[in-house]
Amino acid sequence: MRVIAWLNLVGNLAIIATGGAVRLTESGLGCPTWPQCTPDSWVPTADLGGHALIEFGNRLMSPILAILAILAVLSVWRFRKARPDLWAHAWIIAGGIVVQAVVGGVTVWTGLNAWIVGTHYIASAILVGVATSMVLRTRRERGPRALAVPAWLFGMTHIATLLFAALIVAGVVTTGNGPHSGDPGVVREGIAWDVLAHVHAWIGYALVAALVVLLVGAIAHGNRRYRNAVLAVTAIVAIQVVVGIAQSRLGIPPLLVGIHMVLAGVSVALMVVLVDATKRPSPTPRGADFPADTPS
């Protein structure tokens, strides 16, 4: 079960990378129809060129993720009554993959509408978070959990989480109105990109300030697991700040935008780990639930 959960996490991170490649190579309409690549073919034809291959490669991720989601549901099947949390996670991932496939089709049908493309990314980010939560839950038994940090630090962690969510949304809106539309013939929405970039940056700086508070609190509290989680999130957010500034100064090069997108997905996973670290498990009697140390 744990291996399947990990594969779902990696798969949903991978589709962020392949989706970014489609967009940043202007391959968004490489296959002009959906679910077929062309009105007469399910696969790219020779006359479509490399853009169609890139876009079709991203489409192939959907059946792979669907298989992984089905395996997740099947792996939890015999624990579905004892571990309804894992059962729910597996079905959320499965349902999310179906939604993603439909949104992908709508993206093509609407000619890469910026808001639909943004929804596509946010859905992937949510699935990364759910898959991360599932990975963490396979490592422990079900049962009540107690705070592992002071109450003020717990509250501040959730404030940082809200700032992070706002940062992701602002980043999606900013990118959606930036120079990389996914196809040279697609014109963006016309919202001032430089203003959006500044708003995105301000939220990022607020998040950095919140993480500094969390780091000081974690060091003072002495909880190693929580402290390590704060350090990991702080490190990747700091890298993201550097990448963001670099791409702005260098004229938004596609490679840096792609790195920014993938690291944002990794950041989602680490934020889930951070929130999870604010509590410690209170184990239930062995055998009552899915055992935390059962190999899978």
Per-residue pLDDT 10s for the chain (296 aa) are 889 999 999 999 999 999 889 888 888 888 889 988 999 899 998 888 888 899 999 999 999 999 999 999 999 999 899 999 999 999 999 999 999 989 988 988 888 777 788 888 999 999 999 999 999 999 887 778 889 899 999 999 999 999 999 999 998 888 776 666 665 555 555 566 678 888 988 999 999 999 999 999 999 987 899 999 999 999 999 999 999 889 888 888 888 989 999 999 999 999 999 999 999 866 554 444 444 444 44
Among the candidates 126, 142, 158, a domain finishes at: 142
Q: Are residues 96 and 29 in the same domain?
A: yes
Do 129 and 210 fall within a single domain? no
- Determine the structural domain holding residue 24 and report its residue range: 1-142
Residue 109 lies in a domain: yes
User: Could you tell me the CA-to-CA distances from 131 to 72, 91, 207, 245, 252 in Å, in that order?
Assistant: 10, 11, 23, 30, 30
Residue 240 lies in a domain: yes
Whether residue 106 sits in one domain with residue 157: no
Are 40 and 169 contained in the same domain?
Answer: no
Q: Is residue 137 part of a domain?
A: yes
pLDDT at 181: 60
Could you tell me if 158 and 201 lie in one domain?
yes
- Pair 136, 154 in one domain: no
My answer on whether 200 and 241 are in the same domain is: yes
The reply to whether 196 and 255 lie within a common domain is yes
63 in the same domain as 120? yes
Last residue of a domain, one of 103, 127, 142: 142
Is residue 295 domain-resident? Answer: no
The domain tally of the chain equals 2
Residues with Cβ within 8 Å of 287's Cβ and at least 6 positions away in sequence, in order, are: none
Looking at the domain assignment, is residue 49 inside a domain? yes
59 shares a domain with 160? no
Cα separation, 237 vs 163, in Å, equals 12
**Do 107 and 155 fall within a single domain?**
no
CA distance 206 to 204: 5
Q: Report helix angle 254-276 to 114-137, nearest 10.
A: 40
Residue 205 neighbours by CB under 8 Å, 6+ apart = 241
Query: HEC profile for the chain?
Result: CHHHHHHHHHHHHHHHHHHHHHHHCCCCCCCCCCCCCECCECCCCHHHCHHHHHHHHHHCHHHHHHHHHHHHHHHHHHHCCCCHHHHHHHHHHHHHHHHHHHHHHHHHHCCCCHHHHHHHHHHHHHHHHHHHHHHHHCCCCCCCEEECCCHHHHHHHHHHHHHHHHHHHHHHHHHHCCCCCCCCCCCCCCCCHHHHHHHHHHHHHHHHHHHHHHHHHHHHHCCHHHHHHHHHHHHHHHHHHHHHHHHHHCCCCHHHHHHHHHHHHHHHHHHHHHHHCCEEECCCCCCCCCCCCCCC
pLDDT tens digits for 130-156? 999 999 999 887 778 889 899 999 999
Looking at the fold, whether 10 and 127 belong to one and the same domain comes out as: yes
